[in-house]
Amino acid sequence: MPATRQRLYINVDHVATLRQARRGSEPDPLEAARVCEAAGADGITAHLREDRRHVQDSDVRGLRKVIKTYFNLELACVPEMLAIALATKPEQVTLVPERREEVTTEGGLDLAHDPGRIRAAIEELRSAGIRASLFIDPTADSVERSCDLGCDAVELHTGRYSHAPEERARLDELRHAAERAAALGIAVHAGHGLSIANVRPVSAIAEIEELNIGHSIVSRALFVGLRAAVAEMKEAMRSARMFDVAPPPP
Ligand code: PXP
Work out whether the CA dihedral 12, 221, 187, 140 comes out positive or negative.
negative
pLDDT score at 4: 66
Instruction: Sketch the domain layout of the chain as residue ranges.
Output: 7-98+106-240
Could you tell me the pTM of the whole model? 0.95
Cis bond upstream, residue 29 (ω within 30): no
Work out whether the CA dihedral 149, 154, 159, 165 comes out positive or negative.
positive
Ligand 1 probe mutation, 98, 105, 174, 203, most atoms within 8 A of CB:
105
Spatial distance between the Cα atoms of 154 and 98, rounded to a whole number of angstroms: 17
- Select from 106, 108, 80 the least CA-distant residue to 95: 108
The residues that are catalytic are 47, 74, 192
Is any ligand 1 atom within 6 A of the Cβ of residue 43?
no
Mean pLDDT by 10 residues, the chain (250 residues): 78 98 97 98 97 97 98 97 98 91 80 93 98 98 97 98 95 98 98 97 96 98 98 95 77
pLDDT score at 2: 47
Q: Any residues with CB less than 8 A from the CB of 98 and at least 6 apart, and which?
A: 49, 50, 76, 105
pLDDT score at 249: 81
pLDDT score at 119: 97
Is any ligand 1 atom within 6 A of the Cβ of residue 213?
yes
Q: Which CATH number among 3.20.20.70, 1.10.260.40, 2.170.130.10, 3.30.1950.10 corresponds to the domain 7-98+106-240?
A: 3.20.20.70
Spatial distance between the Cα atoms of 18 and 54, rounded to a whole number of angstroms: 8
73 touches 60 (CB < 8 A): yes
Ligand 1 probe mutation, 12, 14, 17, 47, most atoms within 8 A of CB:
47
196 touches 8 (CB < 8 A): no
Q: For residue 44, list its beta bridge partners.
A: 10, 71
